Structure 1
Amino acid sequence: MEKRWNIKETGDKEKVEHLSKVLNIDRFLSNLLVQRGVETFDEAKAFFRPSYEHLHDPFLMKDMNKAIDRLEQAIEKDEKVVVYGDYDVDGTTSVSLVYSFLKPYFKNISFYIPNRYEEGYGISYKGIDYFAEEKCTLVIALDCGIKAVDKMIYAKEKGIEFIICDHHTPGDILPEAAACLDPKRPDCNYPDENLSGCGVGFKFLQAFCKRRNLDHAKLYDYLDLVAVSIASDIVPIAGENRVLAHFGLEKLNTNPSMGLKHIIKVAGMQGREITISDIVFKIGPRINAAGRIDSGNDAVNLLVSTNEANASSMSIDIDKCNDTRKGFDRDITQQALDLIANDADLRNRKSTVLYEPQWHKGVIGIVASRLTETYYRPTVILTESKGFATGSARSVEGFDLYKAIDACSDLLENFGGHMYAAGLTLKIENIPAFKERFEQYVAETITPDQMIPQIEVDEEIGLKDINDKFFRILKQFRPFGPGNLRPVFVTKRVFDYGTSKKVGKDQDHLKVELIEEKSGSIKQGIAFSMGDYLDKLQTGNPFDVCYTIEENVYNGRSTLQMMLKDMKFPYAEEYSD
């Protein structure tokens, strides 16, 4: 599929030159800094050298004093407390963090993860009823609750109070809780509103430590959990999140908690550096798999474990859940692709809406993402649950999915989400009407450009500019993620050096060796799923490449290599007879 390269504008020339001079780095690297809003020596120092001193005072968050007062009251009166969170990675890491840290202060503290299929996301009435039966008087809700207005009224009638620690956008009315911690509250002036749910839980505990004059080092020992939440919940790795992710990754790589250590082991990542990408693709999916296939409680039990044998056994079980999840994911994705391939009407639409009652509810969000990647158009995948069609939707760059679904709201029982991802439930008999209405809205509003995958390119450089010093400094830009993505470069007019070849089990990847026309510099790279490009490489014509730069370590030897994202061949006519 054709991709459009969007090359960013070069940063302010004077600022780029200034940073290049004061930091003694080349202008390509100083330009990357300016593009990221780093414009002075002090800002660069903070960017390259994160410090705990860069963390904000937690009491700047609205309701933090109320939250700590209520927690202190619960400790003083020896109340029965529950730590509550969703079954995804952010929710389970949040619960593991707060439960583990507060456990020494309570005789009666437990955790609760709602059942994905019986209770759904967020705070549930079933959960509140259970807390009432167990005579719990305080619930600390993490990564959820900021819109649970009716449920807070119900809980209050049952004699239960909540401290809500959330990071989602509130509704017009805040729930009546003992405290509502949420940096996205309109009346909250906290300096950073992009914390993960686990990050808000961390700030809550940070305030508790500050109130009691506790050694913060004990809290920092749990930052590996916070880093896992930041990476998995795709929040910007900038500002406070950059500090938390930096030290969390440091902990994850040097002395991870028992549960995470065993997840790293079953994922086959022992003995190598763990990155944000590893969390996103290796650690996070395993934690998520527990809630998708079985129970999110299994993930928390592993993450709070301090027993080597138990952690080992539970990590193996979670790994099996992940294998099951991958099987469902692979099979359902293929079934969905086959449905489209065998139906001309589906192929020619501007949107995809598919329904199969037997598809596993736990993986349809993943399937929606995979189909969006393949056909690059707004996608809704539906399955049957409790007599209704329920599903997940995903969008493409620039297209507001939430508005498209809202345009069909009269056909839905409920829906929620944001611009790029949403969930919805509707009566099965309404599926045909929804399918047509959704397609009509998309067809009328989506632009041709929005249906072409885009690659955001930081800057154009030459192969000669890639050297050890360049990469050594580039590594210090980490951790990479939203808000600080791994830099993408373009180099124009390169040639195949004559040694490029297909690799991989199915010969669908390329191992390339490229030479730059201007400088004669030669660099190696890998191009996944681009095996079909080999013939074009070997024509002898120049071409352009788009790539990231990574370190390849093999047999103890480290080399730099390009990870190609795309190639373009615009020069064929120059070299034709």
Structure 2
Amino acid sequence: MKWTAKASPKPEIVAHLQEVLQVDYTIAYLLAQRDISTYEEAKNFFRPSLNQLHSPWLMKGMEKAVERIQKAIKNQERILIYGDYDVDGTTSVALLYSYFSKFYPHNTPYIPDRYQEGYGVSYQGIDFASDNEISLIIALDCGIKAIDKVAYAKEKGIDFIICDHHRPGAEIPEAVAVLDPKQEDCKYPYKELCGCGVGFKLLQAFHEKEQRNFKELVPYLDLVATAIGSDIVPISGENRILAYHGLKQINLQPRPGFQAIIQLTKKKELSITDVVFIIGPRINAAGRMKHGLHAVELLIEEDIKQAETFAAEIEKYNADRRETDQNITAEALALIEAQNEQKNYTSVVYQEHWHKGVIGIVASRLTETYYRPTLVFTKSGEKLAASARSVKGFDVYNALEESAEFIEQFGGHKYAAGLTLEEKNYPKFKAKFEEVVKNSIAPELLQPELNYDLELNLEDITPKFYRILKQFAPFGPGNMSPLFYSKDIKDTGYAKGVGKDQEHLKCSLYQKNKRERISAIGFGLGKHAEAIRQKAAFETIYSIEENEWNNQVSLQLRLRDVRLEKT
């Protein structure tokens, strides 16, 4: 890994923050690094307020969307609440369905079948609406490219409201209203909402129009926070406010579905990272292994006993998902080795029997291994479907756009996308994608990089320092957990490899000849255990966390990488 220090903030801003906030240099430095320069900005950062949310009416199409929903309710129309099968989509459907069902009974939740219908708005879903006399579809976390589908619905007398956050194409569907802050002519100030976030803005506007108290919407923020974390959108601006308050809701008063999942994990308090790695995969597992509607049923369930039954089913789906993705990852790694493609600029693999529900996870694992833009294909009906993942700094969506002559359809983000193509075009596409990436990626992007915030002495890691550091959360893209660099570190002589095959490093550290000791864990760093146990000095990049063991809580370092110092 390449180690790089983040840009240093201006010393005068750091000094000013030290003075007005009465904090030490390191805290002031970390704040300034996050573009905070005044007392007021720091206050808003540490205490995000729902009053800081933007007016939903700034979003293009909001007036028309709210008017159409009000008309549907007035005329007793049936509404289909349609969402994608991932965490963002299922939480979005649960959000709108649970909200409207409180006072309007004619709502139906709908999640497309990943295998029969594929991603996004489907003809099958529209036919379902038509057969059930539904005249309004609210599409969440999908629909921005559903030109033909929306036109098809119109022919059947069905209106569409689209709430999406993906990049629009050149043409926008002719829906009653299209809510997507990424539309070029949308003046909404914050562009990085997830699909559930856009859905929440719709509820916020509707709620205002109905002259109801905003506080009634706060319990729904647990769903929004889960979508923000799981969809890996930046935790900055409005997302940070929504995530902060949603996380509070999860920890203080979780809905029965979340409560049932949390009970299975024995966790006392969840961070946004816990939401991503505990709640997110379980919600996702329903759509990957069975059907996304199972996740919605869990999230809208109000009876805790029934929620526990649903959660137990989903736990089994998650166990199946874990085993499946491990097996496919092993096959994919072997395929890359067999084809001698480790030195390619891309990793593109295909087997027709691979489970479509886990190819995105496998793509992420291959990206971690080879650190290349990656595509994992499988057979989907008559076509091939793929999940794409990228490396930091490289826009895989643009690369797919340049390879579009061999693609039937695609959509997504800078770092994650999905596509389908005809099987006969697979070899041509694979060659074209490799060529596009080779000609456009900067060589330094092919080496994983650790960006640390600043150098720290171990003696400065105190409980008080950590209490303030915790308040920088929730962490995620745009506000990552701080990473620190320390040098001249030694182990007390008890370093060892732990875990299966001793691949992880466990040690107790001190700096220079100082007496303070702090425990540390380094996942995947077990190979250094022998040298470190022999008291070889090393430098390291790490984050700081709490470790709970036998009801005792202590601080520990989470080592991200180590380098033995030359003697």
**C-alpha spacing 1:183/1:402, structure 2 compared with 1 (3 Å):** closer
Which residue in 2 is equivalent to 1:453?
448
**C-alpha spacing 1:103/1:522, structure 2 compared with 1 (3 Å):** same
Which residue in 2 is equivalent to 1:45?
43
The count of aligned residue pairs is 567
Q: CA RMSD in A?
A: 1.7
Which residue in 1 is equivalent to 2:312?
316
Equivalent in 466, 470, 477 of residue 475 of structure 1: 470
How far apart are 1:539 and its partner, in Å?
4.5
Which moves more between the two structures, 213-222 or 560-569? 213-222
How far apart are 1:105 and its partner, in Å?
3.0
Aligned 1:15-164 pairs, distance under 5 A: 15-164=13-162
Please list the CA deviations of residues 19-49 of structure 1 after superposition, one character each: whole Å capped at 9, or x if unmatched. 0111111111111111111110001111111
**C-alpha spacing 1:307/1:539, structure 2 compared with 1 (3 Å):** closer
**C-alpha spacing 1:299/1:159, structure 2 compared with 1 (3 Å):** same
Give the SS at the match of 2:556: strand
Give the SS at the match of 2:126: helix
Distance in 1 separating the partners of 2:412 and 2:233: 15
Please list the CA deviations of residues 359-409 of structure 1 after superposition, one character each: whole Å capped at 9, or x if unmatched. 111111111110110111222211112132221222222233234334433
Please list the CA deviations of residues 166-199 of structure 1 after superposition, one character each: whole Å capped at 9, or x if unmatched. 2222223322222222222222222212111111
CA contact (8 A) 1:84 1:141 kept: yes
CA contact (8 A) 2:139 2:163 kept: yes
CA contact (8 A) 1:78 1:107 kept: no
What are the ranges of 5 or more consecutive residues in structure 2 without an aligned counterpart? none
Which moves more between the two structures, 415-424 or 173-182? 415-424
Please list the CA deviations of residues 398-429 of structure 1 after superposition, one character each: whole Å capped at 9, or x if unmatched. 23323433443333333333432222223323
How far apart are 1:146 and its partner, in Å?
2.1
Which residue in 1 is equivalent to 2:286?
290
CA contact (8 A) 2:139 2:160 kept: yes
Equivalent in 518, 526, 529 of residue 521 of structure 2: 526
Which residue in 2 is equivalent to 1:335?
331
**C-alpha spacing 1:354/1:23, structure 2 compared with 1 (3 Å):** same
Which residue in 2 is equivalent to 1:348?
343
Distance in 1 separating the partners of 2:51 and 2:388: 40
Please list the CA deviations of residues 267-309 of structure 1 after superposition, one character each: whole Å capped at 9, or x if unmatched. x134x11111111111111101111111111111111111223
Please list the CA deviations of residues 196-230 of structure 1 after superposition, one character each: whole Å capped at 9, or x if unmatched. 11111111111122112212222111111111111
- The amino acid that maps onto 1:94 is S
Distance in 1 separating the partners of 2:31 and 2:276: 24
What are the ranges of 5 or more consecutive residues in structure 1 without an aligned counterpart? none
Distance in 2 separating the partners of 1:156 and 1:223: 33
Which moves more between the two structures, 496-505 or 205-214? 496-505
How far apart are 1:89 and its partner, in Å?
0.5
How far apart are 1:147 and its partner, in Å?
2.2
CA contact (8 A) 2:495 2:530 kept: no
Which residue in 2 is equivalent to 1:537?
532
Distance in 2 separating the partners of 1:98 and 1:146: 19
Distance in 2 separating the partners of 1:254 and 1:149: 42
CA contact (8 A) 1:7 1:456 kept: yes
Which moves more between the two structures, 135-144 or 446-455? 446-455
**C-alpha spacing 1:384/1:526, structure 2 compared with 1 (3 Å):** same
Distance in 2 separating the partners of 1:91 and 1:368: 20
Which residue in 2 is equivalent to 1:303?
299
- The amino acid that maps onto 1:326 is R
Which residue in 1 is equivalent to 2:233?
235
**C-alpha spacing 1:171/1:408, structure 2 compared with 1 (3 Å):** closer
Which residue in 2 is equivalent to 1:440?
435
How far apart are 1:487 and its partner, in Å?
0.4
Distance in 1 separating the partners of 2:103 and 2:453: 49
Which residue in 2 is equivalent to 1:259?
257
Distance in 1 separating the partners of 2:311 and 2:144: 32
CA contact (8 A) 1:75 1:105 kept: no
Which residue in 1 is equivalent to 2:266?
269
Which residue in 1 is equivalent to 2:480?
485
Which moves more between the two structures, 502-511 or 75-84? 502-511
Equivalent in 191, 195, 209 of residue 197 of structure 1: 195
Give the SS at the match of 1:25: coil
Give the SS at the match of 1:346: coil
CA contact (8 A) 1:132 1:158 kept: yes
Which moves more between the two structures, 330-339 or 435-444? 435-444
CA contact (8 A) 1:152 1:162 kept: yes
Please list the CA deviations of residues 53-108 of structure 1 after superposition, one character each: whole Å capped at 9, or x if unmatched. 11222222222222211111111111111111111101110110111111133232
CA contact (8 A) 2:496 2:533 kept: no
Length-normalised TM-score, structure 1: 0.95
Distance in 1 separating the partners of 2:254 and 2:301: 12
Matched, 1:495 2:490: yes
Matched, 1:357 2:352: yes
CA contact (8 A) 2:301 2:307 kept: yes
Which residue in 2 is equivalent to 1:181?
179
Which moves more between the two structures, 550-559 or 473-482? 550-559
Distance in 2 separating the partners of 1:443 and 1:316: 46
- The amino acid that maps onto 2:504 is H
Matched, 1:226 2:224: yes
- The amino acid that maps onto 1:364 is I
Give the SS at the match of 1:221: helix
Give the SS at the match of 2:101: helix
How far apart are 1:518 and its partner, in Å?
6.8
How far apart are 1:550 and its partner, in Å?
0.2
